[in-house]
Structure 1
Amino acid sequence: MRDRWSPRWLDASAEVTDAQLQAMLEAARWAPSYGNSQPARYMVGRRGDTTYSRIFEVLSRRNQEWAQNAPVLILGIAMTVNHKGTLPLNEYGLGLATENLVLQAVDEGLVAHQMGGFNAEGARILFELPPEARPVVVIAVGKLGDRSSIPEDLRERELAPRKRLPLSEIAFTGEWGKPFTAEP
């Protein structure tokens, strides 16, 4: 998991194999979900096909600048309703499935960058999604490119060391704000 990160410089000549994509989607399929509701759905586009073009079209201009090098773009969709009714925690379920997908990408020697910068309503229209299908995330998948291909305005951010909050700020015990500590 520590090898997972979200670079913005991808190798424009790299390919993602069918076997790699299949493994990633299988990993997503086996993710846990509330009540086994399995709300995650994906539109998978490969460079050069219509699905890819549609996903690329709805990306923010800023994301288009670097995502154009990704051989695969995936639109993550949360189903809000199924045959049993409204699906609580549907975005949480999509998030769990997408994390599995991303971790499998890393295991396959790939990188994956999740994006919220896209026009969800535009995606709904282009893909003629039903009302219960909610576009939530786009994932660019590929192989790491040469550092020299990082756009100048992103270089400092992309090359900075990764930062995470300390455990004492995210895990508490007894009362809010009292850091959890493991027994030796």
Structure 2
Amino acid sequence: MTLITDIASRRAQTDAPLITPLVERFSPRAYDPTAVIEPEVIRTILEAARWAPSANNVQPWRFIVARRGTEAFAEVHGAMLGFNQAWADSAAVLIVNIAETVDAEGNARPWARYDLGQAVAHLSVQAQHEGLHTHQMGGFEAETIRAAFGLADGLEVVSITAIGVLGDVDALPEALRERESAPRLRKPLSELVLVGE
């Protein structure tokens, strides 16, 4: 059994000092299928999302929280595609991230997806601080989730976040095992900052 227990080997090699949850954050696929996240910890993670900034403070994010072993979890997992479905069943929780893209009067909320992204980032950093790991996914059938949970018009399923405790890398399919141990790479700031230092 190979566990990712050496967090130091997964630490980001940053060019400037960052807070520990950001340095140690990575997106695992190997989760412990027996680990349970206590409800108060999930509440804390969601509270971090609640306090993210948003345009005009409209907070256009909504979440479906699906704990492993529930019908909601089975519905969300069943809507996943390809590799995501191969490993995400061992996560303790799947959170569907939803943007409210239209207000009650039918007006578009152009920043809703951006604001949702900020909320999910807050959620992810808080989860890391709690000793958990997150993995963001885009490979899923949004309409399947929409139908399963009866989502209203104006609510857009944008992503799914898996949350859990690190598990056995050897339990993953071979192609995913390779990804799990691949070096963590990022473009240099010189490619990302168009103007300024």
> In the alignment, which residue of structure 1 is the partner of 2:8?
none
Structure 1 CA distance, aligned partners of 2:189 and 2:75? Answer: 40
Within the alignment, does 1:130 sit opposite 2:148 as a pair?
A: no
Structure 2 CA distance, aligned partners of 1:38 and 1:81? Answer: 12
> In the alignment, which residue of structure 1 is the partner of 2:80?
59
Q: Which amino acid aligns with 1:157?
A: R
Structure 2 CA distance, aligned partners of 1:125 and 1:163? Answer: 37
Within the alignment, does 1:171 sit opposite 2:189 as a pair?
A: no
Residues 5-50 of structure 1: CA distance to partner in whole angstroms, max 9, x if unpaired?
A: 1111111111111121001100000000111121110000111112
Consecutive unaligned residues of structure 1, counting only runs of 5 or more, are: 174-179
User: Identity of counterpart residues, as a percentage?
Assistant: 45
Residues 51-85 of structure 1: CA distance to partner in whole angstroms, max 9, x if unpaired?
A: 11111111113211100101111111000122363
Within the alignment, does 1:25 sit opposite 2:46 as a pair?
A: yes
Structure 1 CA distance, aligned partners of 2:172 and 2:101? Answer: 37
Structure 2 CA distance, aligned partners of 1:127 and 1:5? Answer: 29
Structure 1 CA distance, aligned partners of 2:74 and 2:82? Answer: 14
> In the alignment, which residue of structure 1 is the partner of 2:109?
87
Structure 2 CA distance, aligned partners of 1:20 and 1:77? Answer: 21
- CA offset at residue 172 of structure 1? 2.5
Structure 1 CA distance, aligned partners of 2:183 and 2:172? Answer: 16
Q: Which amino acid aligns with 1:135?
A: V
RMSD: 1.2
- CA offset at residue 122 of structure 1? 0.9
Picking from 107, 110, 113, the partner of 2:135 is 113
- Provide the secondary structure at the position in 2 that maps to 1:144: coil
Contact 2:50 2:119 in 1 (8 A): yes
Structure 1 CA distance, aligned partners of 2:177 and 2:164? Answer: 19
- Provide the secondary structure at the position in 1 that maps to 2:23: coil
Structure 1 CA distance, aligned partners of 2:31 and 2:45? Answer: 18
Picking from 37, 49, 62, the partner of 1:16 is 37
Consecutive unaligned residues of structure 2, counting only runs of 5 or more, are: 1-21
Contact 2:132 2:165 in 1 (8 A): yes
TM superposition score normalised by structure 2: 0.85
Q: Which amino acid aligns with 2:84?
A: N
Contact 2:169 2:180 in 1 (8 A): no
> In the alignment, which residue of structure 2 is the partner of 1:149?
171
Structure 1 CA distance, aligned partners of 2:144 and 2:52? Answer: 28
Q: Which amino acid aligns with 2:108?
A: T
Residues 113-168 of structure 1: CA distance to partner in whole angstroms, max 9, x if unpaired?
A: 01000000111111110011111101111001123223211122210110000000
Q: Which amino acid aligns with 1:96?
A: Q
Structure 1 CA distance, aligned partners of 2:61 and 2:172? Answer: 32
Aligned length: 175
Q: Please say which of residues 53-62 and 79-88 is displaced more in the overlay.
A: 79-88
Structure 2 CA distance, aligned partners of 1:19 and 1:135? Answer: 25
